[in-house]
């Protein structure tokens, strides 16, 4: 099951702490975590959560993937981080974001093969700054 803004603090916690292959540490410091939580409380930062349920009553569940970022309010979403505890769950969160919001652009910040597999493409800085106006 997918939800929005139901577990923002859990999502950022997992983004900060999950082990990532071939990566050392995270850019998400304690101060950054607090700042994003404050932005979420103001309705600026959002999260998408992916849950796995262990029984039919949906009381016993685990957060297995998700993402969070900043909604600039002008059709642009700035993706900050995503995580997966199970294969493809961050992709499910991303697909949900794309299908259920009217963003004209999603800033992925760092271009990589994973994001390219989801349709990302690089744009130059000048074009990006024009989009922000």
Domain count, the chain: 1
Q: Coil, helix or strand for 23?
A: coil
Structure confidence by residue, pLDDT tens digits, 75-108: 999 999 999 999 999 989 999 999 999 998 899 8
CATH number, position 90: 3.40.630
Domain that holds residue 85: 2-132
On whether the pTM is more than 0.75, the answer is yes
Could you tell me which residues come within 8 angstroms of residue 67 by beta carbon, excluding any fewer than 6 positions away?
A: 11, 15, 47, 48, 79, 80, 81, 82, 83, 90, 93, 94, 97
Structure confidence by residue, pLDDT tens digits, 65-75: 999 999 998 89
């Amino acid at each position: 099951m997918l939800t929005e803004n139901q577990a923002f603090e859990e999502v950022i916690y997992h983004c900060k702490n999950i082990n990532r292959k071939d990566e050392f540490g995270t850019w998400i410091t304690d101060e950054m975590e607090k700042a994003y939580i404050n932005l979420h409380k103001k309705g600026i930062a959002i999260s998408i959560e992916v849950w796995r349920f262990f029984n039919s009553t949906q009381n016993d569940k685990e957060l297995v993937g998700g993402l969070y970022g900043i909604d600039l309010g002008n059709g642009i979403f700035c993706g900050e981080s995503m995580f997966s505890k199970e294969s493809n769950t961050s992709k499910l969160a991303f697909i949900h974001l794309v299908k259920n919001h009217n963003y004209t652009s999603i800033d992925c910040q760092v271009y990589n093969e994973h994001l390219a597999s989801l349709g990302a493409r690089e744009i130059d800085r000048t074009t990006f700054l024009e989009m922000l106006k």
